[in-house]
Amino acid sequence: MKLATWNVNSLTVRLPQVLDWLGANAVDVLVLQELKMTDDRFPFAALQQIGYQAHCFGQKTYNGVALLSRLPATAVIRNIPGFSDDMARVISAEVGGVRVIGGYFPNGQEPGSDKFEYKMNWLTALRRWIREELAAHPKLVLMGDYNITFDDADVWDPVGLKDTIHCTEEERYHLRALLALGMHDAYRLFPQEPKSYSWWDYRDFGFRRNRGLRIDHILVSEALKPLVGSCVIDKKPRSNERPSDHAPVVLQLVEP
DNA sequence: ATGCCTCAGCTCCTGAGA
């Protein structure tokens, strides 16, 4: 079973690239972030034609997430139960015996801002919910655009970007707290090239100079950890014409 | 350089992203 996450930064613009990518990468589940479209514009038909059913949770202009799968997805939940939120950031479902959660974590803008406080509250609510979900569904994957780096290895300029958004101790505390629930950063279960990132700024030739951050993550539960065969960042789509600024991250689960 | 790029929309500028 292959699962992937990709922040597409507008599905309207990126749909052809998503269809191409799915044609070349036979994943079973793909979660998307930053659709930037309402549900009535979601391309169900185009995805169905290439063998994917989809559940979406859209929003005008900002945010918006979706879960695509070959097998039926059941018990679909939108956003974090019990956490009132007017932004569409989370979609989750049961697929092939695995609880799959796709999330577009808040950006946070700047430490000390209202948006940063919202990010902290959102992360606290997420963790409370994930703790419950893990108890009910031991085989769980939490993936998406976390908008947080784990440590300096995830940052192209750890000195210059110290304590800036995505790199603060407060944000990283919440990432480690998810690990403390028994989750594992699938990417770091394997040796990886140094300076591996999942996002590069559009400005100043960020991708060409590999000035990036690793902020898109796949966390797997204890029960799934032994089944993780590989976890890779696919940098190819970042070289497309009109690319998303994020690359897809792909997880391979093997049979037990 | 409170910009550099990209996207959406109350679209020829602004807000937001990261």
List pLDDT tens digits, range A126-158.
999 999 999 999 999 999 999 999 999 999 999
- The answer to whether the pTM exceeds 0.85 is yes
Q: How far is the CA of A189 from the C1' of B10 (A)?
A: 48
A164-192 mean pLDDT: 98
3-state DSSP helix/strand/coil % of chain A, to nearest 5:
30, 30, 45
Q: Which residue is nearest to nucleotide B3 (CA to C1')?
A: A203
Q: Judge if the beta carbon of A137 is closer than 7 A to nucleic acid strand B.
A: no
Residue A204 has φ and ψ, to the nearest 5°, of 60, 35
CA nearest neighbour of A71 among A44, A37, A94, A40: A94
List pLDDT tens digits, range A198-244.
999 999 999 999 999 999 999 999 999 999 999 999 999 999 999 99
CB count within 10 Å of CB A204 equals 10
Chain B: bases < 7 Å from a protein Cβ: 4-9, 16-18
Which positions of A are catalytic?
104, 145
Contact indicator for A1, A96 with CB cutoff of 8 Å: yes
